[in-house]
Amino acid sequence: MSDYQPASTSRILTPAESRRVDWQQLNAEKINRPVITYWQGARRWLLKNPIAVFAMILLLVLILLILIGPGLSGAEYIKINAAAKNTAPNAIYWFGTDTLGRDLWSRVWIGARLSLLIALACSAIKLVVGCAYGGIMAYFGGKVDLIMMRIIEILDSFPYLLITLLIMMVIGKNVAGLLTAMCLTSWVSTARQVRGQLMQLRESEYVQASQMLGANPAHIIIKHLLPNTVSILILDLCSSIPDYIFTEASLSFLGMGLSGDVISLGVLISDGKAKMQFYPFQLLFPAAVLCIAVLAFNMLGDGLRDALDPRTIE
Amino acid sequence: MKVFRYLIKRLLIALITLYIIATATFFLLALTPGDALSARVEKLPDQVTERLYEKYGLDKPVMERYLITMKGLLHGDFGESIIYEGQTVQDIIAEKGPVSARLGLQQMILGVGVGLLLGILAAVKKGKFWDYFVVVLAILLISVPNLIFALLLQMVFAARLKWFPVIGWPSAGQWFSGWKYTVLPTLAGCFGYIAAYSRLLKASMLDVMNQDYVLTAESKGLTHREVILHHVLRNSMIPIITRLPMTVAMCITGSFFIESVFSIPGLGLYYVNAVAAQDVPIVMGETVIIAALYIFVVFITDILYTIVDPRIRISGGKR
């Protein structure tokens, strides 16, 4: 009996750690296995997941290319080269050139840089506002909670894209307009989640037990409320970043996003669409980078969902 | 009586919500620099310009226009389009609505159908090849935005292979004719549904499969097929049924990107153009109608929950 090992425990612990203890040495109070924290456990599960590891490598490569990519090819992204218009990909222009003879490789990475920055900024705003709003709702409860919930319900009923378009018209087709438009209603889902999680945690037995044992509020917040909420926020971040990248691209594509000399993936896709029948590579490269970025975030998010929620581990 | 009070409360909240949305839309439009006529009157003499502004009431101060618009909304009168003379919102919805609705419904039927089948496959074959196949497929389909799908399909099957028309939509006999035009837009839009619904059904089925009554059914000696069909599938439909109304609503209001890529004269594309041209009556009308549709759908969804799952009661008030 003693050398029987269930598959699931041997996957997160080394065989030595997960060994069964002989009943003769049994001491019910003693914990025989090393205690690992929540985050250690999450990291273990994440690294055991090949898809998540692949996603992380993909993301690292993407970020590296976004940082140093434009300089690699030696061609400048704004330099107009009239002699090399619409060149197919070759040794000098790795992704070819656009209609004005500008190097597409460096333009794609510059564009991806802006797209990712916008997505990160939006996600940060969404998280901060959502946490504050949700936290206040859960903390005060009662009437405050009720009124703030009504406001959320009203915001939820706004047709998202329509409001986004209107805001872009008012503020203008620039980065500030885009940030406002995309953040105005999207923090609502974060606030809902944070509120729900906090309410649930407050009622949970282990928090009550902790209170009974005389833990002070700071301990409860740091030890119980925060870790369980942070996991939700990380997941939220992983799903909202690709959403924002996509929304930015779509708005720019409709001609309602960024305009002027600004380069983003959406602007590049929109430019590429105009010439797609003759020079499909001008559309394919920015589109591929967008899809790979979104895919990487989605795969990482899926891996994190399993790793951060121990209840899904079977 | 509880149900009655609940309904009244929901109705009141819906009206207040609609009022706030209409007001917000109006003032956002009023804040936008320029107006619908500014492009048109550039070359006209001053007198004509004045008359034009008078005709559409754009010469009045903002607050007065707001009151007029709100009064009109109360009577269901959204006013006349400034860009397309003589057309009202109702005309436009009657004309463009079926186009968007047909496209949306085709996407939905194909996407939800395939998605549900894949979801069943993944749940039944859990841990085997088909499960992983569906998981990977779903994540790929979710990661490629439908805008990109639309462009790629258009590039390959329309521009290169010339199997289907590049852009356009059947004009006569809107519901069934000209299927060739609808193939690519339908495909481009259905992938998202496939991914979403296969994931949803798989998760729901796995959840149900862990229930005691499924164990009971298994131990009574029923065949696997019988258990899946009658015990698991039935009970795992709850999240699907409650999700469907929202999908239908999104279908009817149209898909901006796909309509834009394939130049389909639907509500979505029209709305984008109306916003760009600052056609106040049309934008107001469409926004309010779409918002009303959304609110109605959320309400229907809440009611559906209590019908398909009797364990949820209205008085709880929790979704």
According to DSSP, residue A90 is labeled -
On whether both B68 and B98 belong to a single domain, the answer is no
Residue A5 confidence (pLDDT):
47
Lookup result for tokens 């569906």: B134
Q: Is residue A85 part of a domain?
A: no
**Taking CB atoms and an 8 Å limit, are B155 and A277 in contact across chains?**
yes
Beta bridge partners of B80: B88
Tell me the residue type at B16. Answer: I
> Above 50 in pLDDT, residue A207?
yes
Half-sphere exposure of B169 (CA within 13 A, CB side): 23
Q: Do B201 and B100 belong to one domain?
A: yes
Instruction: Please tell me which residue of chain B has the smallest CA distance to A151.
Output: B17
**Which chain B residues touch A242 with a CB distance below 8 Å?**
143
Between A241 and A162, whose confidence is greater? A241
Answer yes or no: are the C-beta atoms of B79 and B69 closer than 8 Å: yes
Length of chain B: 319
- Same domain? For B63 and B211 the reply is no
A58: pLDDT strictly greater than 50: yes
pLDDT value of position A10:
43
CATH (domain of A245): 1.10.3720.10
Overall average pLDDT of the A265-271 stretch: 82
Q: What's the confidence (pLDDT) of residue A107? A: 82
Query: Would the pLDDT of A313 be above 60?
Result: no
Element at A86 (helix H, strand E): none
| Chain B residue numbers touching A159 (CB-CB < 8 A) | 253, 287, 290-291, 294
How much is the pLDDT for A4? 47
Q: Is residue B288 part of a domain?
A: no
Q: Is residue A224 part of a domain?
A: yes
Question: Two tokens at A56?
Answer: 């992380």
User: In sequence order, what are the residues at sequence separation of 6 or more whose Cβ sits closer than 8 angstroms to the Cβ of residue B81?
Assistant: B87, B88, B89, B92, B274, B279, B281, B282
Asked whether residue A265 is assigned to any structural domain, the reply reads yes
Stretches where chain B sits below pLDDT 50 are: 316-319
Q: pLDDT at position A92, please? A: 67
Residue A279 within any structural domain of the chain: yes
- On whether the CB atoms of residues B288 and B18 are closer than 8 A, the answer is yes
With respect to residue B256, please indicate whether it lies within any of the assigned structural domains: yes
Query: For an interface test with B, which of A115, A166, A276, A300 has the most B Cβ atoms less than 10 Å from its Cβ?
Result: A166
B103 in the same domain as B237: yes
Number of domains in chain B: 2
Residue A314: what pLDDT? Answer: 47
* B156 and B243 together in one domain: yes
Residue ranges making up the domain that contains A143: 48-69+102-312
Place of tokens 């795992």: B236
Checking if the pLDDT of A201 tops 80, the result is yes
Statement to judge: residues B143 and B207 lie in one domain: yes
State the Cα–Cα distance between residues B308 and A108, nearest whole angstrom. 49
Quick one: B108 and B68 in the same domain? no
Range scoring the smallest mean pLDDT among A84-98, A116-130, A286-300: A84-98
Residues B65 and B107 in one domain: no
Q: From CA B253, how far away is CA B289, in angstroms rounded?
A: 10
Q: Which of A166, A249, A269 has its CB closest to that of B28?
A: A166
Work out the minimum CA distance from A227 to partner chain B, whole angstroms: 25
In a domain, A96, yes or no: no
Same domain, B156 and B19: no
Same domain, B102 and B67: no
Mind telling me how many Å the CA of B22 is from chain A's nearest CA?
10
In a domain, B312, yes or no: no
Using pLDDT thresholds of 50, 70 and 90, give the confidence band for residue A9. very low
Per the listing, tokens 């001491």 go with: A27
d(CA B99, CA B126): 40
**Domain containing B60: what range?**
2-74
Return the pLDDT at B41: 66
Burial of B292 by CB count in 10 Å (0-12 exposed, 13-18 middle, 19+ buried)?
middle
Q: Nearest chain B Cα to A265, which residue? A: B148
Number of H-type helices and E-type strands within chain B? 14, 0
Least trusted range by pLDDT, from A25-34, A218-227, B196-205, B229-238:
A25-34
- ipTM of the modeled complex: 0.76
pLDDT of residue A21: 67
**Is B299 a member of any domain?**
no
Q: Is B236 on the interface with A (CB under 8 A)?
A: no
Pairwise CB contact (< 8 Å): B256 & A254: yes
CA–CA min distance B230, chain A (Å): 26
Residues B97 and B56 in one domain: no
Residue B86 lies in a domain: no
Structural domain includes residue B238: yes
Provide the pLDDT confidence category of residue A11 given band limits of 50, 70 and 90: low
The span from the CA of B219 to the CA of A20, in Å, is 32
Say what the pLDDT of residue B40 is.
67
For residues B114 and B65, state if they share a domain.
no
Q: How many domains does chain A have?
A: 1
Q: Which residue of A has its CA nearest to B294?
A: A157
Chain A environment of B298 (Cβ under 8 Å)? 156-157
- Taking CB atoms and an 8 Å limit, are A290 and B148 in contact across chains? yes
Does the residue B218 lie in any domain? yes
Share of chain A above pLDDT 90, in %: 3
The shortest CB-CB distance from A159 to any of B142, B159, B291 is to B291
Among A91-95, A277-281, B151-155, whose mean pLDDT is lowest?
A91-95
Q: Name the band, by pLDDT with cuts 50, 70 and 90, for residue A77.
A: low
> Does position A113 have pLDDT exceeding 80, yes or no?
yes
Check: CB of residue A159 under 8 Å from CB of residue B290: yes
Residues B257, B148: Cα–Cα separation, whole Å: 9
pLDDT value of residue A3: 46
Contacts of A166 in chain B (CB under 8 A): 25, 28-29, 32, 275, 283
Q: Is position A166 within any domain?
A: yes
Residue A203 lies in a domain: yes
